[in-house]
């Protein structure tokens, strides 16, 4: 019925005009209410210890200090957690990391709060602490159960293998570095209820946790989220803590209370992407065909679980990435350490899992002296056969071979590979490297119940539309895409669709905007609501359009709904506009509002006893080639060129999707190159601001960056045949890191160079100095 | 001698007919008077909390992200010149007679073309960095006469603006598609005459602002400044504030008494004489970069790595010198060039060679009543080679892990003189005299430089910190000599080929 699709159009981001003029409102921009309080907290400076005494005497005397609250002031439950209830809002008797909140401070001014912090005295009996994965392994400190996925018989394969490599890989954590730090405002309202404005990906969890902490029913709390100034997973679970602090203060004082973490405190006290340490053993043939792989993943979970166990599971789901490995065993453990609880970050364990296997393949290539591309091509999932994952989900509609073959050509990989060999023979100052990596990222929350969403669509009598979903906007373009979907359902311009603030009173029990799936889920729910309204409107139109016409009986099948208007195809000269239609429908008492719902079909509950299931609805794929140059004397790295080719199905908004691809790539590149978390021996984060924590700068983008995607209309399982695009591109950045390895292989005399992530200049120089510089001039 | 401010104030009054007790500035064309504590606020805080101009964001409040970028219009020869600054580390008291333009003020009723281009190119995602990016990009076009720009123009204009979402590429595209002629300039938006009428009065007034906790002095002449410094030796000299204000914002540090020197006319000169260049203490790093870098090979590229436009537009060269950081980036260069400082107090002037200026960690060969007025940098001789190195975790907008400067004269393969200084390997930036004397008179070849590199191990004692381990720094110090050598070879090769 549709004549002119709004899907696939490059319309500007919803809210872009506000962004460029500085009028988009974030939590800290909201005008202050007269009696509003500032909320902050006093945190632990010890990584592990027992609280002997908390002295708040002096602090209470400071003028401008309105409240000081410890866990004793919590009337509901201090314990919570998205998977395991092992977190506390405020420390009770044991301190478990530097940065752990102990006292909430509410004050009239920043000055008073600063003073109060200086006077609070906590007596602590120090306890031994653990920071590293190795120590946790040694002391047997783990969170949750060990997970195993196994297929085939690795031991048998290892026995008869042609070649075996054993080793380990390591990646550092990553700070989200959303520019808007964690922030929330709590407004007390009548009858002991609260309205919360929170910068969160997960309004429902904020609502639930606050209610539990306050000991009141969920329905007494409304949480609203207009937008976030970046989140990347960092506001999936950890936006709850600051919001709960503001809520507690608002409830106690009956005054509005706002908390906005400083950039430094945010970095010091909140969780990050997980550091991983992995042991592996791999068997392969002389052609580079991988026959068996054993990987043991150890992630650094921090002091509590948060989402660590799930993140570890996704690392395991992606342990083989895009490659078919017949005999495989992956084991995953989460280490408990005295650090802030690590949390979701774009990719959710996927990047760590993939980095490991891509590193292994690079090593095999160096070992066998074969181009790593050929090894990847050889092992890549097949179309007809060799197309099941280690947990035996079928890789259907596999576009990986197509991506590989196309990008091989467009990137001119083979030719450049040769040129680099030549270059390195003659260059005294620099080494170059090139690498081609793949991404196959499963889409859906791996916790099955989370794959549901609701949407509310309201049409007004002038034809304008409001849409509310449980999805939250953080710059990823969710609202824009939903407005396109809704506009297209009704054949109207996207600008007639207004995306409303996300609110738990409009949409209840929502899932976080995460797992790349928020358009898939909320967009489909919105479509469902539209279709329900449309059904009514079509029925109404079928009567309305023939009402003065005795020739035709009303027929819903005769109704054409187009961008030019709605008409009965038997009387095509009588067209009415959408506006006329809804106006008249209203006058005839037809409901113009609807709630839609969606639950992802096909996926199954994963059975961890057998290590089998279908956790993903489909896979988003990608391939990337990066060429790098390293300075032989300083280890400094420059990314010269990157080519990325993705399969994102049919794009709903190419401009937004391109932005996601590039943004993800650069963010991943930061993780693997310049972003280094440095801690003191006590576990204090030393790199806690952009002065010392270096995310990519505009000067760091590759000199040449080519981004493209293939035409793929086969992904019929998802909304408008699109594919999720939020996380997968991040992992294209692995090509940068493996390219460094490739560069190093030119001086390693056949040895496999040892390189950890991030490949900082220091790490690269260290890797180079393991091999004596032999320069032919 | 300590004079408390109240009694001091009377003395000051007697000597001056008129004294101003507030800061007068324009913001988006409107006049504002900042009295008392308001004058002691960071500009970003003033904009956000006093004027509710919340388009200017605060993220790091230490000059490293650019979310708070605003335009600062300063009067030069009856005209306003606008440059970007980080408003989080520029305090209101620095802005007398300035015109501040925020993201809210860079357009008339409709969007300017930079904003439109950012929208159509998808240059904004979450939007938090966007106001700062838009201001920086707009500033580039506002003050440049080129019709269109290149990728590296945009990169250089936006070095000081971090974005976590976009990966920058779409922002670059937004810039590349712009035609400068279509962009409305600030001089079209704000009537220069009107601004001149408010801010153009020749400042003959000394400014002194007192609160219970702080006092700020802005004298009109160097003479008065020296007098003030003499009577109040505990007064902190303030120039751009890019070092001092970071400490105020981030550490438990406050500037109780401030003597602002950046508007002193006597300190604004840049003079190129026969054999040296003289830079005044009020000369910003941007001015220095634009007017001086061509005289020294490598300096242009080196200064391109120094901080960001926002920092260089207000930070000074002399501030970098007086801050005495062991990783002050201009210092190795200034040391190998044998630069000389001019110091002045009520007792007169004197000159100090910079190689004798640093006594220990942040300790200077300078009296508490003195002010650095100028720095003299000898010009490079025709037959000398100068190489400058900066190694940092991130190439741009990062503090050095290690830095070095080498100045060499070679004739017929023999090193006639070799001068080398390192940053980041000890409590001060330091010359490595042992290496210098070892290499002087030797043949310029790989083995000799390798030997020199081996010596370094026993000379420097770097420490480990957040920017690198000591082993790394040591390795860099050794490698830099080799790098220097191989770079010479490469450029010789190129010469031969040419
Ligand atoms: C984000 C950021 C990035 C930076 N990047 C770099 C970098 O790449 N490389 C680098 O070297 N530095 C860098 N810096 C540090 C700083 O910008 C420089 O040191 C700058 O030169 C300081 O100049 P200023 O005018 O702002 O100094 P101020 O902060 O005003 O003063 C610095 C010190 O100098 C003293 N002083 C100033 N003028 C005089 C005078 N005339 N006589 C005597 N004493 C005086 C002051 O009392 C103070 O102790 C960076 C800073 C920031 C915030
Ligand atoms: S807030 Fe980061 S530079 Fe000002
Ligand atoms: S758009 Fe989010 S930080 Fe730039």
Q: Could you confirm whether A157 is annotated as catalytic?
A: no
> pLDDT tens digits for B401-412?
999 999 999 999
E-strand ranges in A530-663 read: 559-562, 565-568, 575-576, 593-599, 618-631, 637-647
Confidence at B497, pLDDT banded by 50, 70, 90: low
pLDDT at residue B400 greater than cutoff 70? yes
Q: What was the pLDDT predicted at B495?
A: 73
pLDDT at residue B14 greater than cutoff 80? no
| Rounded alpha-carbon distances, angstroms, from residue B182 to A11, B138, B147, B331 | 23, 12, 9, 42
Ligand 3 centroid distance, CA of A468 (Å):
24
> pLDDT tens digits for A338-352?
999 999 999 999 999
Name the fold adopted by B265-497.
Answer: 3.30.465
pLDDT at residue B114 greater than cutoff 50? yes
> pLDDT tens digits for B331-348?
999 999 999 999 999 999
More confident residue, B455 or B297: B455
* Closest CA of chain B from A511, distance in Å: 20
What is the CA angle A729-A733-A738, rounded to 5? 145
Ligand 3 centroid distance, CA of B133 (Å):
9
Region(s) of chain A under CATH 3.30.365.10: 34-129+176-269, 276-381+407-446+607-769, 452-510+518-599
List Cβ neighbours of A475 (8 Å cut-off, separation of 6 or more). Answer: A13, A227, A228, A229, A230, B124, B125, B126, B127, B165
> pLDDT tens digits for A157-194?
999 999 999 999 999 999 999 999 999 999 999 999 99
Q: What was the pLDDT predicted at A4?
A: 54
CA B270 – CA B290 distance, rounded (Å): 11
Ligand 3 pocket (Cβ < 6 Å) reads A 179, 230, 475; B 124-130, 163-166
Region(s) of chain B under CATH 3.30.465.10: 265-497
Ligand 3 centroid distance, CA of B128 (Å):
5
Q: Classify each residue of B49-63 as buried b or exposed e, where b means 16 or more C-beta atoms within 10 Å of its C-beta.
A: eeeebbbbbbbbbbb
Q: Which CATH architecture has domain B5-104+191-260?
A: Roll (3.10)
> pLDDT tens digits for A569-606?
999 889 999 999 999 999 999 999 999 999 999 999 99
Q: Mean per-residue pLDDT for A642-659?
A: 97
pLDDT at residue B280 greater than cutoff 50? yes
CA B193 – CA B187 distance, rounded (Å): 10
Cβ contact, residue pair A701, B134, below 8 Å: no
Q: Mean per-residue pLDDT for B199-208?
A: 84
Contact A404, A313 (CB under 8 A): no
pLDDT at residue A1 greater than cutoff 70? no
pLDDT at residue A736 greater than cutoff 90? yes
Q: Mean per-residue pLDDT for A111-140?
A: 98
Q: Mean per-residue pLDDT for B217-224?
A: 96
Mean pLDDT of chain B: 94
What is the CA angle A651-A654-A657, rounded to 5? 85
Confidence at A773, pLDDT banded by 50, 70, 90: low
Q: What was the pLDDT predicted at A368?
A: 97
Assess if CATH 3.30.450.20 describes domain A452-510+518-599. Answer: no
List Cβ neighbours of A77 (8 Å cut-off, separation of 6 or more). Answer: A212, A213, A215
More confident residue, A469 or A714: A469
pLDDT at residue A777 greater than cutoff 50? no
List Cβ neighbours of B438 (8 Å cut-off, separation of 6 or more). Answer: B451, B452, B455
Which secondary-structure segment (H or E) carries A122? strand A121-126
pTM of the predicted model, to two decimals?
A: 0.97
pLDDT at residue B387 greater than cutoff 70? yes
Ligand 1 pocket (Cβ < 6 Å) reads B 62-64, 89, 236-244, 246, 261, 281, 285, 306-307, 311, 315-316, 318-320, 322-323, 328-329, 371-372, 399
More confident residue, B293 or A220: A220
The DSSP bridge pattern shows strands A79-80 and A65-69 to be: unpaired
Q: Classify each residue of B8-25 as buried b or exposed e, where b means 16 or more C-beta atoms within 10 Å of its C-beta.
A: beeebeeeeeeebebbbb
Cβ contact, residue pair B122, A656, below 8 Å: yes
pLDDT at residue A367 greater than cutoff 70? yes
CA B458 – CA B472 distance, rounded (Å): 15
List Cβ neighbours of B10 (8 Å cut-off, separation of 6 or more). Answer: none
Q: What was the pLDDT predicted at A64?
A: 98
Q: Which of B47, B70, B165 to mutate to test the interface with A (most CBs of A within 10 A)?
A: B165
Mutate to test the pocket of ligand 1, among B237, B422, B424 (most ligand atoms within 8 A of CB): B237
Interface of A with B in 483-522 (CB under 8 A): none
Secondary structure in 3-state letters for A730-758:
HHHHHHHHHHHHHHHHCCCCCCCCCCCEC
List Cβ neighbours of B472 (8 Å cut-off, separation of 6 or more). Answer: A762, A765, A766, B401
Q: What was the pLDDT predicted at A564?
A: 94
Contact B418, B408 (CB under 8 A): yes
Cβ contact, residue pair A20, B130, below 8 Å: yes
Given strand B22-27, what is the order of strands in its sheet?
B30-35, B22-27, B99-101, B69-76, B79-86
Per DSSP, A181 falls in state: P
Q: What is the ipTM of this complex?
A: 0.97
The answer, for A344 touching chain B at a CB cutoff of 8 Å, is no
Q: What was the pLDDT predicted at B13?
A: 43
Q: Using alpha carbons, select from B101, B105, B74, B104 the residue that is nearest to residue B87.
A: B101
Region(s) of chain B under CATH 3.10.20.30: 5-104+191-260
A216 CB burial (10 A radius; 0-12, 13-18, 19+): middle
Which CATH number among 3.40.50.720, 3.30.70.1880, 3.30.365.10, 3.10.20.30 corresponds to the domain A34-129+176-269?
3.30.365.10
B496 CB burial (10 A radius; 0-12, 13-18, 19+): exposed
Interface of A with B in 228-257 (CB under 8 A): 228-232
Q: Which of B119, B137, B167 to mutate to test the interface with A (most CBs of A within 10 A)?
A: B167
Q: Using alpha carbons, select from A636, A637, A632, A629 the residue that is nearest to residue A772.
A: A632
Q: What was the pLDDT predicted at A772?
A: 67
Confidence at A5, pLDDT banded by 50, 70, 90: low
Q: What was the pLDDT predicted at B493?
A: 76
Q: What was the pLDDT predicted at A252?
A: 98
* Closest CA of chain B from A227, distance in Å: 8
Q: Using alpha carbons, select from A351, A362, A367, A356 the residue that is nearest to residue A435.
A: A362
Q: With left for phi above 0 and alpha for psi between -120 and 50, is residue B67 left, alpha or beta? A: alpha
> pLDDT tens digits for A509-551?
999 999 999 999 999 999 999 999 999 999 999 999 999 888 9
Give the atom of ligand 2 at the shortest distance from the alpha carbon of B310. Answer: 3
CA of B128, nearest ligand number: 3
Q: Is the peptide bond before A758 cis (omega within 30 degrees of 0)?
A: yes
Cβ contact, residue pair A697, B394, below 8 Å: yes
Q: What was the pLDDT predicted at A713?
A: 85
Q: Which two tokens stand for residue A12?
A: 């500007």
pLDDT at residue B18 greater than cutoff 70? no
Mutate to test the pocket of ligand 1, among B226, B323, B422 (most ligand atoms within 8 A of CB): B323
Confidence at A771, pLDDT banded by 50, 70, 90: confident
> pLDDT tens digits for A616-638?
999 999 999 999 999 999 999 99
Interface of A with B in 704-723 (CB under 8 A): 705, 707
Q: What was the pLDDT predicted at B12?
A: 46
Confidence at B145, pLDDT banded by 50, 70, 90: confident
Q: Where are the alpha helices (DSSP H) in A288-371?
A: 308-317, 350-368
Confidence at A9, pLDDT banded by 50, 70, 90: confident
Partner residue opposite A429 with nearest CB, options B48, B165, B486:
B486
Partner residue opposite A23 with nearest CB, options B55, B159, B489:
B55
Which CATH number among 3.40.50.10470, 3.30.365.10, 3.40.50.300, 3.40.50.1370 corresponds to the domain A276-381+407-446+607-769?
3.30.365.10
Q: What was the pLDDT predicted at B4?
A: 38
B218 three-state secondary structure? strand
Ligand 2 centroid distance, CA of B254 (Å):
19
Q: Which two tokens stand for residue A430?
A: 């620099």
Give the atom of ligand 3 at the shortest distance from the alpha carbon of B165. Answer: 2
Confidence at A99, pLDDT banded by 50, 70, 90: very high
pLDDT at residue B230 greater than cutoff 80? yes
Q: Which residue has the tokens 């004793």?
A: A72
> pLDDT tens digits for B52-98?
999 999 999 999 999 999 999 999 988 999 999 999 999 999 999 99
Interface of A with B in 468-487 (CB under 8 A): 474-477
List Cβ neighbours of A255 (8 Å cut-off, separation of 6 or more). Answer: A35, A36, A37, A66, A188, A249
Name the fold adopted by B109-183.
Answer: DNA polymerase; domain 1 (1.10.150)
Q: With left for phi above 0 and alpha for psi between -120 and 50, is residue B356 left, alpha or beta? A: alpha
pLDDT at residue B1 greater than cutoff 50? no
């Amino acid at each position: 019925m549709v004549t002119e699709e709004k899907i696939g159009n490059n319309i500007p981001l919803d809210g872009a005009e506000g962004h460029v003029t500085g009028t988009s409102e974030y939590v800290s921009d909201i005008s202050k209410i007269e009696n509003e309080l500032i909320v902050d907290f006093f945190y632990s400076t010890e990584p592990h210890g027992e609280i002997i005494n908390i002295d708040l005497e002096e602090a209470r005397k400071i003028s401008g200090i309105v409240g000081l609250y410890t866990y004793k002031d919590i009337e509901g439950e201090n314990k919570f957690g998205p998977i395991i209830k092992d977190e506390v809002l405020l420390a009770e008797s044991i301190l478990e990391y530097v940065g752990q909140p102990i006292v909430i401070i509410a004050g009239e001014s920043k000055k008073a709060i600063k003073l109060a912090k200086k006077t609070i005295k906590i007596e602590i009996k120090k306890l031994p602490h653990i920071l590293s994965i190795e120590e946790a392994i040694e002391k047997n400190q783990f969170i949750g159960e060990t997970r195993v996925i196994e297929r085939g018989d690795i031991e048998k394969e290892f026995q008869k293998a042609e070649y075996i490599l054993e080793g380990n890989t390591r990646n550092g954590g990553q700070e989200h570095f959303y520019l808007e730090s964690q922030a929330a405002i709590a407004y007390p309202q009548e009858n002991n209820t609260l309205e919360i404005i929170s910068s969160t990906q997960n309004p429902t969890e904020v609502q639930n946790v606050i209610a539990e902490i306050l000991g009141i029913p969920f329905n007494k709390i409304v949480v609203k989220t207009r937008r976030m100034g970046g989140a990347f997973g960092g506001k999936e679970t950890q936006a709850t803590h600051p919001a709960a602090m503001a809520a507690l203060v608002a409830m106690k004082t009956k005054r509005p209370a706002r908390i906005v973490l400083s950039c430094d405190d945010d970095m010091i006290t909140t969780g990050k992407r997980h550091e991983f340490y992995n042991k592996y053993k791999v068997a392969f043939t002389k052609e580079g065909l991988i026959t068996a792989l054993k990987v043991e993943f150890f992630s650094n979970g921090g002091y509590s679980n948060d989402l660590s166990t799930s993140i570890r599971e996704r690392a395991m789901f992606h342990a083989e990435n895009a490659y078919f490995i017949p005999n495989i065993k992956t084991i995953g453990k989460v280490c408990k350490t005295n650090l802030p609880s690590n949390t979701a970050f774009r990719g959710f364990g996927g990047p760590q899992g993939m980095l490991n296997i891509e590193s292994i393949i690079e090593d095999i290539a160096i070992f066998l002296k074969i181009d790593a591309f050929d090894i990847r091509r050889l092992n890549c999932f097949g179309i007809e056969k060799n197309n099941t994952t280690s947990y035996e989900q079928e890789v259907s509609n596999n576009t990986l071979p197509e991506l590989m073959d196309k990008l091989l050509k467009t990137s001119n990989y083979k030719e450049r590979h040769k040129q680099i060999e030549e270059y390195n023979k003659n260059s005294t100052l620099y080494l170059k490297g090139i690498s081609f990596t793949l991404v196959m990222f499963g889409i859906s929350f791996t916790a099955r119940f989370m794959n549901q969403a609701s949407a509310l669509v309201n049409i007004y009598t002038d034809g304008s539309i409001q849409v509310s979903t449980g999805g939250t906007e953080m710059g990823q373009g969710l609202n824009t895409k939903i407005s396109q979907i809704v506009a297209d359902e009704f054949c109207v311009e996207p600008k007639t669709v207004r995306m409303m603030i996300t609110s738990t009173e409009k949409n209840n029990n929502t899932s976080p905007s995460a797992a790349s799936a928020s358009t898939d889920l909320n967009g489909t729910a919105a479509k469902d609501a539209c279709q329900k309204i449309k059904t009514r409107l079509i029925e109404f139109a079928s009567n309305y359009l023939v009402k003065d016409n005795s020739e035709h009986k009303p027929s819903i099948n005769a109704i054409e709904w187009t961008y030019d208007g709605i008409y009965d195809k038997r009387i095509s000269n009588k067209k009415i506009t959408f506006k006329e239609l809804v106006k008249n429908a209203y006058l005839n008492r037809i409901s113009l509002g609807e709630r839609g719902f969606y639950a992802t079909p096909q996926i199954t509950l994963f059975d961890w006893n057998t290590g089998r299931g279908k956790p993903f609805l489909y896979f988003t794929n990608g391939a990337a080639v990066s060429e790098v140059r390293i300075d032989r004397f300083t280890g400094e790295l420059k990314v010269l060129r990157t080519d990325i080719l993705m399969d994102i199905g049919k794009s709903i908004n190419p401009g937004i999707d391109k932005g996601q691809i590039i943004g993800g790539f650069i963010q991943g590149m930061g993780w693997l190159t310049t972003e280094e978390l440095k801690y003191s021996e006590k576990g204090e984060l030393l790199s806690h601001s952009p002065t010392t924590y270096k995310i990519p700068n505009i000067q760091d983008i590759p000199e040449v960056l080519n981004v493209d995607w293939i035409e793929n209309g086969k992904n019929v399982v998802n909304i408008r045949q699109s594919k999720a695009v939020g996380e997968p591109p991040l992992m294209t950045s692995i090509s940068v890191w493996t390219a460094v390895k490739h560069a190093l292989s030119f001086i390693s005399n056949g040895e496999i160079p040892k390189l950890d992530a991030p490949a900082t200049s220091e790490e690269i120089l260290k890797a180079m100095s393991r091999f004596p510089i032999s320069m032919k001039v | 001698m300590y004079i408390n401010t109240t009694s001091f104030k009377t003395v000051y009054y007697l000597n001056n007919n008129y004294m101003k007790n507030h800061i007068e500035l324009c913001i988006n064309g409107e006049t504002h008077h900042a009295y008392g504590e308001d004058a002691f606020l960071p500009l970003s805080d003033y904009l956000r909390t006093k004027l509710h101009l919340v388009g200017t964001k605060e993220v790091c409040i230490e000059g490293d992200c650019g979310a708070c970028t605003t335009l600062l219009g300063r009067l030069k020869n009856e005209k306003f010149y606008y440059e970007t600054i980080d408003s989080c580390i520029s305090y209101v008291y620095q802005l007398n007679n300035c015109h501040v333009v925020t993201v809210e003020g860079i357009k008339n009723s409709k969007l300017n073309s930079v904003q439109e281009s950012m929208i159509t190119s998808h240059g904004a995602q979450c939007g938090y960095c966007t106001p700062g990016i838009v201001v920086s990009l707009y500033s580039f076009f506002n003050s440049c006469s080129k019709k269109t720009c290149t990728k590296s123009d945009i990169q250089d204009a936006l070095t000081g603006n971090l974005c976590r979402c976009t990966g920058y590429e779409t922002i670059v595209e937004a810039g590349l598609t712009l035609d400068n002629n279509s962009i409305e300039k600030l001089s079209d938006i704000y009537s220069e005459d009107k601004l001149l009428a408010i801010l153009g009065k020749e400042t003959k007034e000394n400014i002194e602002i007192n609160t219970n906790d702080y006092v700020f002095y802005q004298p009109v002449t160097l003479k008065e400044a020296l007098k003030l410094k003499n009577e109040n030796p505990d007064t902190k000299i303030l120039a751009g504030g890019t070092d001092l204000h970071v400490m105020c914002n981030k550490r438990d540090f406050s500037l109780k008494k401030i003597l602002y020197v950046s508007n002193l006319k006597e300190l604004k000169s840049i003079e190129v004489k026969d054999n040296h260049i003289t830079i005044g203490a009020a000369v910003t790093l941007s001015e220095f970069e634009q007017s001086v870098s061509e005289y020294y090979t490598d300096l242009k590229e080196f200064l391109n790595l120094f901080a960001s436009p926002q920092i260089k537009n207000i930070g000074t060269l002399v501030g970098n010198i007086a801050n005495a950081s062991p990783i002050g980036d201009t210092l190795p260069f200034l040391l190998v060039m044998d630069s000389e400082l001019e110091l002045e107090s009520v007792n007169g002037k004197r000159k100090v060679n910079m190689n004798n200026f640093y006594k220990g960690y942040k300790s200077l060969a300078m009296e508490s009543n003195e002010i650095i007025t100028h720095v003299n940098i000898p010009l490079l001789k025709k037959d000398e080679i100068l190489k400058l190195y900066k190694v940092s975790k991130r190439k741009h907008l990062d503090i050095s892990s290690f830095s070095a400067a080498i100045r060499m004269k070679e004739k017929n393969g023999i090193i006639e003189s070799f001068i080398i200084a390192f940053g980041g390997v000890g409590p001060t930036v330091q010359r490595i005299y042992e290496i210098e004397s070892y290499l002087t008179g030797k043949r310029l070849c790989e083995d000799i430089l390798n030997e020199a590199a081996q010596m370094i191990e026993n000379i420097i004692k770097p420490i480990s910190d957040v920017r690198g381990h000591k082993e790394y720094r040591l390795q860099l110090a050794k490698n830099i000599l080799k790098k220097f050598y191989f770079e010479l070879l490469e450029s010789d090769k190129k010469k031969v080929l040419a």
